[in-house]
Structure 1
Amino acid sequence: MPKRGKNYIESAKLVDKHTLYTPVEAIELAVKTSKAKFDETIELAVRLGVDPRHADQQVRGAVVLPHGTGKTVKVLVFAKGDKAKEAEAAGADFVGAEELVEKIQKENWFDFDIAVATPDMMGLVGRIGRVLGPKGLMPNPKSGTVTFDVAKAIAEIKAGKVEYRVDKTSIVHVPIGKKSFGAEKLQDNFKVLMEALIKAKPAAAKGQYLKSVSVSSTMGPGAKVNPIKVLE
């Protein structure tokens, strides 16, 4: 077990590991137990009753959080011609084609948070799929990052669009904002995200879908939410 700092130990005393809290209580606890000197991110971790090894049990998508994430997101767009101009006008941080692919390949450059591509660029982007994929940076139609409507995609991302994707252990990890948002705004974001996850339930998933839900700050202990009460 890693040695825990004084702040974490103090915070952990406030959270009962055996209690299932309402979303409001869990979020308030996550804010209260956030003791770091920086504005910690409040994160949601949801264990789903799916087997991600099966293609028909993948859970993946994106949703715009009403209050954003509190993070400035750098957007890279793979596009050419008019679509490249459209991306620049819409506020993309980096726009290009072959030269960006080459920069990523040769310089191991990843100074961006999300990549968007027009569908005609996917053949080119596919060349770096092996390096973008593991970092969660590969554009994907399901999350709205492979599109000809680049202006809309950029606007949504900058407004606080987050991607969610189940990992190998059947857990979805998503930020729902910053400690400074306060419990009310975090609750709004939590609700929108949980609604999206519930709607994304695969038809092939059997049994209980929401296995466990917890909310925590970057450095703090997690508070478990009663899955039955997630949308209250």
Structure 2
Amino acid sequence: MAKLTKKQKEAFSKVEKNKIYNLEEASALVKEVNTAKFDASVDIAVRLGVDPRKANQMVRGVVSLPHGTGKDVKVLALVTPDKEAEAKEAGADYVGLDEYLQKIKEGWTDVDVIVTMPSVMGKLGPLGRVLGPRGLMPNPKSGTVTMDVAKAVAEVKAGKIDFKVDKYGIIHAAIGKVSFEPAKIKENAVELLQTLMKLKPTAAKGVYVKSIYMSSTMSPGIAIDTKSVN
């Protein structure tokens, strides 16, 4: 492990060992323990009592954070010519079809979210090897495959995020920036966690939410009381 700086040691000392914080306390503390010199992201990691290898225990969903993520999300709209104007008006950063499909085929993935139409999905299939590992493949369940392209683009720009449990049973999500007021960090966290609670698979037995940690880029993790979100 790299040697901690004086500032990092001071930050780590503010997080009491073995203490479980409530969401309000964590949302304030995560700002105090930030040591990055930039506006770091605030992230939440939720360990779930599910087995992601089983299809009936997969947890995936979308949530619209009330205060957005604080990040300028770059959106590519892969649409037919008749949808280009509305995609641009809704705020898509890149709009088109064949020329962008070719760029992706050549390895270009400089976007955060891709929105497309059902009729275009057939063309995206062969690009799964490029888009899949980067989490960029559009999905009807996340609202990124739709005929209402303008609405999908606007929602993503406003703070709608897609989350999915990883192979270790953990959900990772960015819920804001350290420059946010503590109340806004808390409200975004509550929105995500309450959405997660509604997605508990019926096949999952025992404790559903095993642990919750909040952190910022390069900061220590702050343990959150799982009962504070029920």
| CA shift for structure 1 position 6 | 2.8
| CA shift for structure 1 position 5 | 3.0
| CA shift for structure 1 position 44 | 0.6
RMSD value, Cα = 1.2
- CA-to-partner distance for each residue in 1:192-231, whole Å, 9 max, x for gaps? 1111111111111111000100111111101100101125
Structure 2: give runs of 5+ residues left out of the alignment.
Answer: none
Residues 81 and 96, structure 2, Cα contact 8 Å, conserved in 1: no
Identity %: 53
**1:162 match: secondary structure:** strand
**1:69 match: secondary structure:** coil
Structure-2 residue corresponding to 1:103: 103
Structure-2 residue corresponding to 1:91: 91
Structure 1 length normalisation: TM-score? 0.95
| CA shift for structure 1 position 10 | 1.3
- CA-to-partner distance for each residue in 1:20-74, whole Å, 9 max, x for gaps? 1111111211111012211111111100111111111111111111110111011
Matched AA of 1:94: Y
Task: Show structure 1 runs of 4+ deviating over 4 A.
Answer: none
Structure 2 length normalisation: TM-score? 0.96
| CA shift for structure 1 position 82 | 1.5
Structure-2 residue corresponding to 1:72: 72
| CA shift for structure 1 position 4 | 2.8
Number of equivalences: 230
Structure 1: give runs of 5+ residues left out of the alignment.
Answer: none
Alignment of 1:81-230 (within 5 A): 81-106=81-106, 108-230=107-229
**1:37 match: secondary structure:** coil
How far apart, CA to CA, are the structure 2 residues paired with 1:117 and 1:63? 19
